[in-house]
Each structure stands twice: as structure tokens, then as C-alpha cells.
């Protein structure tokens, strides 16, 4: 077996996630490690780096795993992406007023507690 593949608890230690969350992240399709012949998860350098940058991505923008999972769906289901794009394209024209982006605060409030904790 390659010496640079870590088990789930070792990977948890070096990335800051818990082993529980590594399984959760895998189930969401975000980081899927290879498996040993007997089914053990094996995290290589690429997966470890991916887990660290995932943490940064979430913290930097105040989003959650769910959002990243949805972005994954947008990449992998072109009809979904196209349908969403089409809906936004039909946005009614109201060019004046460029409001204080209140919806932005609204969207970000959802994770403010998490970030504070």
C-alpha cells in the first residue's frame, strides 16, 4: 500500500475535520477517497489538500456544505443549470435604484452563528 495514504482518523487529524464529517463530506460527493481492498478509506495528498481548501472556502464566504453540494449538482446536471439560468435571464427589467443588497445580508445571516461559534 502507498505510504502517502492516510486512514480516516489520520486524515481527520491533519485537516481539522472530524472523522464523522469526513464520511458526511464523502456522502455529499465532495471528497471521495479511494478504498483499500477491505473497504478502508484511503486519503491521499490530493484529498487532504481538497479538504483543507474546502474548509477555507466555507469560512471565506459564509456558506455550508449544502451550498457546495448544490454547486456540484449545477456542474453535473446541465439541464438543472440551464433551467436556473433561464429563470434568472427572465428577470424583469428594473434598472434604476440598485438597492442596498439586503438579500445579501439575508443569505449570509444563515451562517453567521456558525462562524461566530
Partner DNA sequence: CCAACCTTGACACACCCGTGGTAAGGTTGA
Partner DNA sequence: TCAACCTTACCACGGGTGTGTCAAGGTTGG
Buried (b) or exposed (e) across 55-84, using 16+ Cβ within 10 A? eeebeeeebeeebbeeeeeeeeeeeeeeee
Q: Does 98 help bind a copy of itself (rule: CB under 8 A)?
A: no
- Spatial separation of the C-alpha atoms in residues 66 and 105, rounded to whole Å: 18
- Spatial separation of the C-alpha atoms in residues 97 and 109, rounded to whole Å: 23
Provide the minimum distance between the beta carbon of 82 and a copy of itself in the complex, in angstroms, as a whole number.
11
Map the footprint of DNA across residues 26-85, applying CB under 7 A.
28, 36-41, 64-66
Map the footprint of a copy of itself across residues 54-93, applying CB under 8 A.
54, 57, 60-61, 63, 66-77, 80, 83-84, 87-88, 90-92
Q: Does 49 help bind a copy of itself (rule: CB under 8 A)?
A: yes
From the list 6, 99, 3, the residue with the least C-alpha distance to 47 is 6
- The piece of 22-30, 44-52, 73-81, 83-91 that touches DNA (CB under 7 A) is 22-30
Residues making contact with DNA (CB under 7 A)? 7-10, 18-21, 23-24, 28, 36-41, 64-66, 109-110, 112-114
Amino acid at each position: 500500500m502507498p505510504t502517502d495514504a492516510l486512514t480516516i482518523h489520520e486524515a481527520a487529524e491533519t485537516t481539522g475535520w472530524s472523522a464523522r464529517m469526513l464520511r458526511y463530506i464523502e456522502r455529499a460527493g465532495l471528497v471521495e477517497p479511494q478504498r483499500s481492498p477491505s473497504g478502508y478509506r484511503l486519503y491521499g495528498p490530493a484529498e487532504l489538500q481538497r479538504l483543507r481548501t474546502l474548509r477555507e472556502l466555507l469560512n471565506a464566504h459564509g456558506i455550508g456544505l449544502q451550498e457546495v453540494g448544490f454547486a456540484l449538482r449545477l456542474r453535473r446536471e446541465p439541464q438543472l443549470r440551464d433551467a436556473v439560468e433561464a429563470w434568472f435571464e427572465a428577470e424583469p427589467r428594473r434598472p434604476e435604484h440598485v438597492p442596498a443588497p439586503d438579500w445579501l445580508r439575508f443569505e449570509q445571516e444563515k451562517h453567521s452563528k456558525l462562524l461566530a461559534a
